[in-house]
Structure 1
């Protein structure tokens, strides 16, 4: 194998011309397309990063909203329990007050009826006493007859 410098120079010139033509007509547009693709991929990465950040923020907000809703539900349940207990206590107090009022009314009615009965009994006893006295005055009787008369009138009052 021999070395020919003319071939080497010719190959080098051909290579440089080919490189110049490729760089002018092929590498430039190819690099432009590659740069556009790089920029497009970079934009998509940035967009996906923003979307991921927004999704994380939305997830955080949803978790906070869910926690707040749970807290509000718990508060509503506690308030309902408190209200129910208060209403139950009020109903018990009202029932006790009503029972006390009815008992007091019954005691007053009983007392009134007792007083009426005592007054009626006194009236009857006094009428009987007057009747017995008038009978005794009409006839003078001995002690035995007097006792029989009193027993007879007591039986009438009792019956």
Structure 2
């Protein structure tokens, strides 16, 4: 086996040229494909990261919205309780005023009826007194007759009631 420098040098140059050609034709497209794939993956990662951040922002927004609605609902409930208490108090006060007015009217009516009864009794007593005086004056004053007249008068008064 003989080694010749010219032959080795020629093979070395052909090998280097072949390597340059393979690098230019074979490796460069592979590197370009790899670079394109790297950009695509980076874009996907960036998009996923952006989507994650958007989801976190949306979640935070939803939590704050839920809290705001919860506070609003609590406020509405408190307002409804306050309004219900105020209305119940107003109804009770109105009922108490009506009851007081009814009691006052009843007392006035009782007073008027009492006055009417007293007036009627006075009239009746006056009539009876006049009747008694006329009966007494018609007859002589005799203790026996007098007690009989009083008894009769009492019976008449009892029968008229």
Same fold (TM over 0.5): yes
Task: Please name the residue that 1:135 is paired with.
Answer: 135
In the alignment, the residues of structure 1 paired with residue 101 and residue 144 of structure 2 have an alpha-carbon distance, to the nearest angstrom, of 54
Which string of whole-angstrom CA distances, capped at 9 and with x for unpartnered residues, describes residues 27-86 of structure 1? 222222222111111111111111111110000000001111111111111111111111
**Which moves more between the two structures, 141-150 or 105-114?**
141-150
Count of residues in Structure 1 that have an aligned counterpart in Structure 2: 159
Task: Please name the residue that 2:158 is paired with.
Answer: 158
Aligned pairs for 1:86-97 (under 5 A) are 86-97=86-97
Task: Please name the residue that 2:80 is paired with.
Answer: 80
- Residue 87 of structure 1 and its aligned partner are, at CA, apart by 1.3
Structure 1 residues 2 and 150 mapped into 2: Cα distance closer, same or farther (>3 Å)? farther
- Residue 7 of structure 1 and its aligned partner are, at CA, apart by 4.8
In the alignment, the residues of structure 2 paired with residue 147 and residue 93 of structure 1 have an alpha-carbon distance, to the nearest angstrom, of 62
In the alignment, the residues of structure 1 paired with residue 140 and residue 148 of structure 2 have an alpha-carbon distance, to the nearest angstrom, of 14
Task: Please name the residue that 1:48 is paired with.
Answer: 48
Coordinate RMSD, CA, aligned = 1.9
Structure 1 residues 149 and 5 mapped into 2: Cα distance closer, same or farther (>3 Å)? farther
**Which moves more between the two structures, 115-124 or 27-36?**
27-36
- Structure 2 portions without partners, runs of 5+: none
Task: Please name the residue that 1:34 is paired with.
Answer: 34
- Residue 16 of structure 1 and its aligned partner are, at CA, apart by 0.7
User: Could you say which structure has the greater relative contact order, defined with CA pairs below 8 angstroms and 6 or more residues apart?
Assistant: 1
Structure 1 residues 19 and 134 mapped into 2: Cα distance closer, same or farther (>3 Å)? same
In the alignment, the residues of structure 1 paired with residue 9 and residue 156 of structure 2 have an alpha-carbon distance, to the nearest angstrom, of 167
